[in-house]
Homo-oligomer: A and B are copies of this chain.
Amino acid sequence: MAEPQEAAVVTMDKIVSLCRRRGFVFPSSEIYGGLGSTFDYGHYGVLAKNNIRERWFEAMVQQRDDVVALDSAIILHPRVWEASGHVEGFTDPLVDCRTCKLRFRADKLEDAQCGRKPSKHPGETPDCDLTEARQFNLMFETTVGAVQEEGSRAFLRPETAQGIFINFKNVLQLARRRPPFGIAQTGKAFRNEITPGNFLFRVREFELMEMEFFVPPAEAEEWHRYWIEERLSWHLRYGLRKSHLRVREHGPEERSHYSQGTSDIEYLYPIGWSELEGVANRGEYDLTRHTEFSGTKLEYVGPDSERYTPFVIEPAVSIERIFVAMLVDAYDEEVVAERERTVLRLHPAIAPVKAAILPLIGKSEDMASKARPLYEELRRKHFVEYDDSAAIGRRYRRQDEIGTPFAFTIDEDTLEDDTITVRDRDSLAQERIPIAGAAAWLEDALARPWTTPKADS
């Protein structure tokens, strides 16, 4: 992980605290003391993650001619992971300390603390009696079926990509596509990380969004550049700041075993610049390996019998890393009319709740009789919230903190003339509109292009 090169706008602690306070994210299994680096998502977290997934799927599949969807199993045939190189190569080097009995990553000793002298690193204390490093596989293992024999050992997938490669021939035959074309999927993946941490940044269980784009080998570099640009522009479209994004090419020594060249789209997290999304040129590695291991030829045969093994360009990102980046760039604290407010300036397409419906006087039945039908109309298409609790200022603050872009307030005037106030989360501008036009107003507002109201540095 690179050192912070620029002060980040917000600390990770503030993000974690907001997530907890508003029920976006909870430490998992908390009543049992927690399970390290595992998280459960509350209501708003689920809605935000759904929005991220849907916007990705829309851009990567729905709005393209050349990409189809797939959803492969989490537990695949164990041979898949031999062919992919994961059984042999998806490992971290570990050492044990014979004195304190703890286990550390040999390549990260300077980050780890000695079990006996917690202020020291294992390499620094004379008490530490470290074993030689041995390779530890990061795949979770399990057993399928009731028989404990070798053949029933299986793995939880550490990436979704392999499920795509082994279905390449099926899709080629049935989806009427020829290279360049892609296969996209989202879903859980698992890595038995020895040093997880930094909130959602490195977790053992996460949701990947991967697309494998199959191209004629001669076009691989061009498509690699295309997908880096395409994914960058997606992140910018949904509210990440240009100055917090950069592209960094992997050096030859840090490339994965399958890679012909990888570029990371990095984001300036509060912990420093780090990977947001990887865009790799996997070459013909995977299709060739699965051809070898399965005996099924995975290649493209064209109408004039030309045949080749396509190269693969892979943009791969986890929902968790996007979620954290979006929270960081959306988080803002400001003083308005001598009052502090915390506001999440999320892109409206990402915001968990699109609008709040607020009768000014919570207990007024007259206002409720106007507000409820509006709420019931709007929730047919969108997540909206009805809140008739407490003082209006407190309700606005709650909506600001969860990032709700619009609030519709029903007041005394509504009872007279059937108009309501729309409050804009970012500008705090208020506008009066007819209640009958509120649904159409919301559709228009959500369809408008949006730019982050925070100046880019």
A300 to B234, alpha carbons, bound, how many Å?
44
Task: Tell me whether A79 and B32 are in contact (CB under 8 A).
Answer: yes
Known: A43-B70, A71-B40, A146-B103. A76 touches B192 (CB 8 A): no
A75 is contacted by which of B35, B62, B75 (Cβ under 8 Å)?
B35
B29 lies within 8 A of A46 (CB)? no
Question: Contacts A103-B146, A144-B204, A205-B73 given: A43-B192 contact, CB under 8 Å?
Answer: no
A73 / chain B contacts, CB cutoff of 8 Å: 28-29, 35, 38-40, 205
Binds B, one of A4-12, A170-178, A261-269: A170-178
A43 to B73, CA, bound (A): 14
A359 at the interface (CB under 8 A from B): no
**Is A30 engaged at the interface, CB distance under 8 Å to the other chain?**
yes
Whether A26 contacts B77 by the Cβ 8 Å rule is no
A404 CB to nearest B CB, Å: 15
Please name the residue on chain B nearest to A177 by beta carbon. Answer: B43
Tell me if A163 is interfacial: C-beta within 8 Å of chain B: yes
Residues of B near A176 (CB, < 8 A) are: 389
Asked whether, in the complex, the Cβ of B379 is within 8 Å of the Cβ of A63, the reply is yes
* Residues in B whose Cβ lies below 8 Å from that of A448: none
Q: Please tell me if A428 contacts chain B, counting CB pairs below 8 Å.
A: no
Is the CB of A188 closer than 8 A to any CB of chain B? yes
Q: Which residues of B contact A175 (CB under 8 A)?
A: 23, 42-43
**A205 to B69 Cα, complex, angstroms:** 19
- Asked if A167 CB lies within 8 Å of chain B CBs, one says yes
Contact A29 B144 (CB under 8 A): no
Copies in the assembly, this chain: 2
Q: Does A74 contact B (CB under 8 A)?
A: yes
A146 CA / B141 CA spacing, docked (Å): 12
Q: Is the CB of B71 within 8 A of A46?
A: yes
Partner pick for A140 among B23, B28, B143, CB 8 A cutoff: B143
Q: Which of B47, B141, B192, B194 contacts A69 (CB 8 A)?
A: B47
User: Does A166 belong to the interface (CB within 8 Å)?
Assistant: yes
Residue A393 CB within 8 A of the other chain: no
CA distance A216 to B180 in the complex (A): 58
CA of A321 to CA of B284, assembled, Å:
38
Q: Does A60 reach chain B (CB closer than 8 Å)? A: no
- Tell me if A94 is interfacial: C-beta within 8 Å of chain B: yes
A31 & B69 in contact (Cβ 8 Å cutoff) = no
Q: Which residues of B contact A40 (CB under 8 A)?
A: 70-73, 163, 167
Taking the closest CB of chain B, its distance from the CB of A42, in whole angstroms, is 6
List B contacts of A74 (CB < 8 A): 188, 190, 205
* C-alpha gap A382/B65 in the complex (Å): 13
Residue numbers in B under 8 Å from A386 (CB-CB): 65
Closest to A168 in B: B31
Query: Is A49 an interface residue when CB atoms closer than 8 A count as contact?
Result: yes
Q: How far is the CB of A457 from chain B (nearest CB, A)?
A: 33
Query: Would you call A68 an interface residue if the criterion is a C-beta within 8 Å of the partner chain's C-beta atoms?
Result: yes
- A38 to chain B: closest residue by CB: B73
- In the complex, A141 Cα to B152 Cα: how many Å? 13
Most buried by B among A39, A49, A71, A103: A71
Any B CB within 8 A of the CB of A169: yes
Q: Report Cα–Cα, A34/B75, bound state, in Å.
A: 12
How many angstroms between the C-alpha atoms of A380 and B65 in the bound complex?
12
29 A-B residue pairings within 8 Å (CB atoms): A21-B174, A28-B72, A29-B166, A30-B167, A31-B298, A32-B80, A34-B77, A38-B76, A40-B73, A42-B69, A42-B175, A43-B68, A43-B69, A43-B175, A46-B70, A46-B71, A50-B57, A62-B379, A62-B383, A65-B386, A75-B190, A94-B146, A103-B147, A136-B146, A140-B142, A141-B143, A142-B142, A145-B194, A156-B156
Known A35-B73, A38-B76; further 9 A-B contacts with Cβ < 8 A = A22-B174, A23-B174, A31-B296, A36-B145, A43-B69, A45-B71, A49-B71, A75-B140, A103-B146
